[in-house]
């Protein structure tokens, strides 16, 4: 019988046996229902739930059973120890994207930064918070995603230093030159889109994932254009798929004008980010 927090979590974990992390998801959903942190939840296992609380929590569990992402059920995702609003119009920020942030912060130049395809705005917002003196321009094609990004910038107090532009990743107006250009572009090969898990397939914008026939279309477009928009000794830092590093290095080499091309791995040992520096002698 479901009566208190502990028994509800056990019931919920059983209901969610088919998802990736049933216990964690159960705790997040019940904590959200009760407006508690997960730490607070764990100190109140004997707390009796009223009918209203149980009914709402059960609705959340059913949505998760239907493979709706937890982030969309609760309306936010933690990234860089900050909560970011998300919905079906933006990709849920992934933990491995923090490697891109770490790489960018390790570079010496942060004057003016361009975030291509900002989505929920996590890259733009985090860079603005971590580097108070920088200016950030964030480009995004989808007006609904841009609205979420603006909301996140306002919540985190950097809306006065992030300029949001609605425009195409490649054809849009990049507005000047930059000391750093960042992007987490679509990089999944088109044929693999149908193979991704239901949480993504049914609830996230697939156009933000589809990188064309081999997953590299956006790199072929971004890299040469970035070369012409980076200041001397500026950095281009891109998230990549775990098997794409060699092919993207080749694109850099064919584009010319870059040096110090470096691949950075994530904490699982997969290639995750590629960084290159613009040649100081290149216009």
What's the farthest any 2 CA atoms get from each other in the chain? 72
Kindly list the structural domains of the chain, giving each domain's residue range(s) and its CATH number in brackets, ordered by start: 5-66 (1.10.8.10), 94-278 (3.40.50.150)
Per-residue pLDDT band for 55 (boundaries 50, 70, 90) equals very high
Whole-number average pLDDT of the chain: 95
Give the residue carrying structure tokens 């998300």. Answer: 86
Instruction: Tell me the DSSP string of 62-99.
Output: HHHHTT--HHHHHTEEEETTEEEE--TTSPPPPGGGHH
Q: Are 136 and 162 in contact (CB under 8 A)?
A: yes
State pLDDT tens for residues 119-178: 999 999 999 999 999 999 999 999 999 999 999 999 999 999 999 999 988 887 788 899
Q: Are 149 and 87 in contact (CB under 8 A)?
A: no
Q: How far apart are CA 106 and CA 98, in angstroms?
A: 12
Q: How far apart are CA 120 and CA 204, in angstroms?
A: 12
Taking CA atoms, 94 is separated from 43, 77, 123, 194, 257, in Å, by 29, 9, 11, 19, 31
Nearest to 72 by CA among 132, 6, 148, 5: 148
State pLDDT tens for residues 174-230: 888 999 999 999 999 999 998 999 999 999 999 999 999 999 999 999 999 999 999
∠ CA 181-185-186 to the nearest 5 degrees? 170
pLDDT at position 56 over 50: yes
Torsion of CA 219, 176, 114, 282, to 10 degrees: 50
pLDDT at position 282 over 50: no
Q: How far apart are CA 168 and CA 175, in angstroms?
A: 13
């Amino acid at each position: 019988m479901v009566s208190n927090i502990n028994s509800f979590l056990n019931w919920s974990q059983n209901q969610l046996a088919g998802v990736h992390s049933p216990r964690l998801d159960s705790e997040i959903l019940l904590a959200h229902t009760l407006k508690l942190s997960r730490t607070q939840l764990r100190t109140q296992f004997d707390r009796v739930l009223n009918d209203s609380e149980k009914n709402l929590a059960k609705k959340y569990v059913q949505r998760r059973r239907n493979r709706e992402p937890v982030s969309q059920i609760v309306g936010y995702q933690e990234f860089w120890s900050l909560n970011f609003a998300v919905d079906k119009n933006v990709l849920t920020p992934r933990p491995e994207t923090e490697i891109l942030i770490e790489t960018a912060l390790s570079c010496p130049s942060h004057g003016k930064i361009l975030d291509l395809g900002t989505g929920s705005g996590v890259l733009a917002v985090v860079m603005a918070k971590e580097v108070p003196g920088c200016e950030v321009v964030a480009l995004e094609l989808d007006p609904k995603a841009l609205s979420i990004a603006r909301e996140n910038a306002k919540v985190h107090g950097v809306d006065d230093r992030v300029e949001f532009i609605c425009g195409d990743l490649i054809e849009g107006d990049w507005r000047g030159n930059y000391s750093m250009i960042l992007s987490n572009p679509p990089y999944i090969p088109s044929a693999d889109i149908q193979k991704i898990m239901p949480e993504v397939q049914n609830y996230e914008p697939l156009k933000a994932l589809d990188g064309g026939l081999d997953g590299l279309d956006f790199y072929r477009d971004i890299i040469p254009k970035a070369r012409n928009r980076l200041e001397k000794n500026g950095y281009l830092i891109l998230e990549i798929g775990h098997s794409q590093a060699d092919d993207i290095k080749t694109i850099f080499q064919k584009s010319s004008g870059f040096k110090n091309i470096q691949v950075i791995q994530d904490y699982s040992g997969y290639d995750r980010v590629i960084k290159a520096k613009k040649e100081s002698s290149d216009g």
